[in-house]
Structure 1
Amino acid sequence: MSKVINLKPIETTPVMQGLDNLCNMEEGRLSGKIFWDQEIYEQELEKIFARCWLFVAHESQLPKPGDYLTTTMGEDEVIVVRQKDMSIKVLINACPHRGNKVCFAEAGNARGFVCNYHGWAFGPDGALRGMHESKAYEESGFDKSKHGLREVAQVDSYKGLVFATFDPEAPSLEEYLGPITWYLDVIFDMDEGGTEFLGGCIRSTYECNWKVAAENFVGDILHGGWTHDSAARAMLGGPVVNVGELPESYAVNWNGHGYEFATDGIGNAAVLGEREINKYLHELRPKVAERLGEFRAQLTGAISSCTIFPNFSFLPGQNTVRVWQPRGPNKIELYTWVVVNKNAPERIKELWRRGAMMTFSPTGVFEMDDGENWEYCTKTSRGVVTRYQDLYVGLGMNTYLPDSELPGNVFKGQINEANSRAFYQRWKDMLQSESWKDVPDRNNGKLK
């Protein structure tokens, strides 16, 4: 089996050297050029998407040996497949003969994969098993063991979430996620049975830059009370709660990952318009408190959002999970799933699926609002003058809470752009670093 070759050193271009002028998070300013420039995007593919740990699957999607799904890591197509020993491999979806795609289905179960071009056949482990006119290869001294589907460098999982990275020098997944896992457990470990993804994957496209969407989920609750006001009123049947009036809320980040949340317990779930879901969460809360503690029990359905850098996001309570797949500097393909507790009643699972479709799907009342905003935030940056104007990312400066007992870098209040600043700082640090060992550590409040 062939591992992916070590990533070549990436030269720092003049554009990368000038990033300090385009992104200065100490001053809270940003240039729209980073959302439109093709050269910046190519560097992102190499220095971020070919290096970072990326979400590729949930273990519930691959229950049996031979189960597989296809996805992308950046713009590299991969196959995620369950092995006989129940481990998971991630294989590049390209035949090592002429590079043709070997698996065209989105998901299924297979004993192997066969290339349509010259009949090269691979096992679920990626090993080359045979090919059309195999005798001709044998006569040329061909060694099948050297021509299997290439594997990514590392695969690991956390609470059912499967991540992969192309970079053999990347830190472990545990180190990469750091203390943000304490918050991930609010949705992915609130119940002893764990979680599962419902149904298939919803795929849609938007003409926006991937960072615009990822940053929205990393910490932009500010837009909710304005952009989503009419939709929230329609779903709730009454006035919308003012986030600024909630008794306790925070923004927490770590190495570009961000989780912003209130302690209201039910706000996100409530806008699904399904009272049975609210009742389910209220009844489950004592068990969650016993499992995760009283503080996190207040977050299970609360007004909150999260992005794991660079492009994996979710909304607790509304239970929509998404990956912003880059398709150029001004286009994304959005992969969306609904996550539920595996032990939840089937009626509750169906209500969650239906509620998520009503709110966060291509025709959802919230997603249509977001999509339009994200597209125009991107399109304005094509203007040769407009792309250089300063964009403000300074809300919540000096709200860092150095004495907080919560994990991560903690900031006071959800209406705060601390997580956005941390996201863009990590983005810039990755682009300006030649390897993982060069990436600065800006935790412990160093970026306030």
Structure 2
Amino acid sequence: MSNIIKTVDVTDSLENLSEFCDIENGRISGKIFSDKAIYEQELEKIFARCWLFVAHESQIPKTGDYITTTMGEDEVIVVRQKDGGIKVFLNACPHRGNKVCFAESGSTRGFICNYHGWSFNTAGNLVGQHESGIYEASDFDKSKWGLKEVAQVDSWKGLVFATFDPEAPTLKEYLGPMTWYLDALFDNQEGGTEFAGGCIRSTYECNWKIAAENFVGDILHAGWTHDSAARAMLGGAVAKVSDFEESYSVNWNGHGYEFALDTVGNVAVLGESALNKYVHTIKPSVAERLGEFRSNMVASVSSCTIFPNFSFLAGQNTIRVWQPRGPNKIELFSWVLVNKSAPDDIKEKWRKGAMMTFSPTGVFEMDDGENWEYCTKTSKGKVTGAQDLYIGLGMNTLERQTDLPGNVYKGQLNEANARAYYQHWYDHLNAKSWSEIPDRNVGKAEVE
């Protein structure tokens, strides 16, 4: 690979996108983190097409319970229906487009627009307006002017996803064999999971992909970026990831999960011995439920991103969505996940531990935020942004003889998941519809 600096312009048609994403040779360009034309295409071909995480069912347990969130830059309302189902609507009145709900969460019998008094029930139907007589005189048909509903809504193990695209595959197909691994966090105990406390919102001046890629498989940074914080939380020496006897990087259609089988590595850095004890206490029942292999994943050194922007750290139990706010800014929505069956004191220790480590003032998150912001800022340079960035670690580590589902690679210190993530990103930007997105998977799709 040449070290000669190149300058290449990005056009609105993105005809030369291949200049910035050469996965076969382990190369991307920093330009993909700052270019406005690329970002606009991402909103259209990724965020308006893919399944996006919008809520956990525990946030809206009763009829009329709702939260507001975003899908890309589109604001939406997620609301529990009378029949127990969940609907997702654009948070925009179909009269002039004003927001109909300004609260982050609550319980209601309906939504009313502040501008002209249009009111909607929780099923999204328009049920009344201010000065309704003038509408009747205009042969106005209420049934045609309800809140706009997204194309599909579905849930898996308490996680609620939605998509604007009626042609998107089912959620089960979208997640594919990754669900086998996700069970280690989201279904390791009877009764499932819930969010403890509310949503933590913060902003970073970085591109959304940098943060998502960090969780899809970048354990490499942890031993350097987080070394001092980990030593402080653990009160001494920190194990090297390279010393783990068994670890993996697994991906499928852009989703990626890197993990060791050390059982409690992530939870240990929360600084609460009671949490370590809890994980070891439930391990036998997890093994009975999911098998010995996944019982070692429950709180291990690990991270995951479900394409495009839903991530988590098992053990630390921070759940997060990287909400795009332009090519150079994100709004981070994060929550703390706990087992419903866990004792209340354990839930509270998890919440406090997550606040100390992965929150805007957390000892680990401050490290990450600074790195992500400077990666984005350098990419704005005309010359700097066009330089090659290396993502070639672990090029020849695919496990071809394995019973594990998905595309399985040896070791966590591996950029296979990052390559798969950017390849899927590239494929979406180059496709006019789902049918044009190539299947690049080589592993097992079946989940036993």
* Shared fold, TM over 0.5: yes
Shift of 1:445: 5.7
1:380 maps to which of 378, 381, 386: 378
- What's the offset of the Cα at 1:403? 1.2
Give the aligned residue type for 1:211. K
Q: Of 139, 142, 158, which aligns to 1:141?
A: 139
Residue 193 of structure 1: CA displacement? 1.1
Instruction: Give the equivalent residue in structure 1 for 2:101.
Output: 103
Q: Which amino acid aligns with 2:280?
A: H
Q: How many residues align?
A: 435
Computed over aligned residues only, the root mean square deviation of the Cα atoms, in angstroms, reads: 1.1
Residues 286-312 of structure 1: per-residue CA shift (max 9 Å, x gap): 000000000000000100000000000
Matches within 5 A, 1:3-42: 15-42=13-40
Rate the CA distance shift 1:338–1:96 in 2: closer, same or farther, 3 A. same
What amino acid does structure 2 have at the position aligned with 1:220? D
Q: Which amino acid aligns with 2:19?
A: N
Aligned residue runs from structure 1 range 156-171, under 5 A: 156-171=154-169
**What's the CA shift for 1:17?**
2.0
The SS at the match of 2:251 is: strand
In the alignment, is the contact (CA less than 8 A) between 2:20 and 2:31 conserved in 1? yes
Q: Determine the C-alpha separation between the residues in 1 that align with 2:364 and 2:336.
A: 15
Match of 1:256 among 246, 254, 257: 254
Q: Which residue of 2 aligns with 1:371?
A: 369
CA distance in structure 2 between the aligned counterparts of 1:369 and 1:320, rounded to whole angstroms: 16
Letter paired with 1:122: F
Summarize the alignment of residues 282-301 of structure 1 with structure 2, pairs less than 5 Å apart: 282-301=280-299
Query: What amino acid sits opposite 1:416 in the alignment?
Result: N
The answer to whether 1:175 aligns with 2:173 is yes
Determine the C-alpha separation between the residues in 2 that align with 1:13 and 1:111: 48
Match of 2:267 in 1: 269
Contact 1:56-1:164 at 8 Å conserved across structures: yes
Q: 2:211: which partner in 1? A: 213
Counterpart amino acid of 1:29?
R
2:277 to 273, 276, 279: 279
SS in 2 for 1:16: coil
Which letter does structure 2 place at the counterpart of 1:289?
A
2:417 aligned residue = 419
Contact 1:102–1:114 (Cα < 8 Å) also in 2: yes
Tell me if the contact between 2:406 and 2:443 (Cα under 8 Å) persists in the aligned partners: no
Gaps of 5+ in 1: 1-11
Matched position secondary structure for 2:100: coil
1:15 to partner: Cα distance: 4.6
C-alpha distance after superposition, 1:168-210 (max 9, x if no partner):
0000000000000011101000001100001110000000000
Match for 2:29: what amino acid? S
Q: Tell me the TM-score normalised to structure 1 length.
A: 0.96
Residue pair 2:53, 2:159 contacting (<8 A) in 1 also: yes
Distance 1:148 1:422 in 2: 40
Cα deviation, residue 14, structure 1: 5.5
Task: Spell out, residue by residue over 1:248-285, the C-alpha distance to the aligned partner (whole angstroms, 9 max, x if none).
Answer: 00000000000000000110000000000000000100
Q: Quote the offset at 1:393 in angstroms.
A: 0.2
Q: Segments of 4+ in structure 1 off by > 3 A?
A: 12-15
C-alpha deviation, 1:16, in angstroms:
2.2
Relative to structure 1, the CA distance from residue 326 to residue 190 in structure 2 (aligned partners, 3 Å threshold; closer, same or farther) is same
Q: Which amino acid in 1 is paired with 2:123?
A: D
What is the SS of the residue equivalent to 1:200? strand
Q: TM-score, normalised by structure 2?
A: 0.96
In the alignment, which of 417, 441, 445 is matched to residue 439 of structure 2?
441
> Which runs of 5 or more structure 2 residues have no equivalent in the other structure?
1-9
Distance between the aligned counterparts of 1:256 and 1:432, measured in 2?
Answer: 15
CA-CA distance at 1:402 after TM superposition: 1.1
Listed as ranges, the matches of 1:315-354 within 5 Å are 315-354=313-352
SS in 1 for 2:418: helix
Letter in 2 for 1:193: G
Q: Indicate the residue corresponding to 1:131 in structure 2.
A: 129
Instruction: Give the corresponding residue for 1:227.
Output: 225
**Which residue pairs with 2:239 in the alignment?**
241
Residue 19 (structure 1) shift: 1.2
Match of 1:7 in 2: none
C-alpha distance in 1 between matches for 2:85 and 2:12:
43
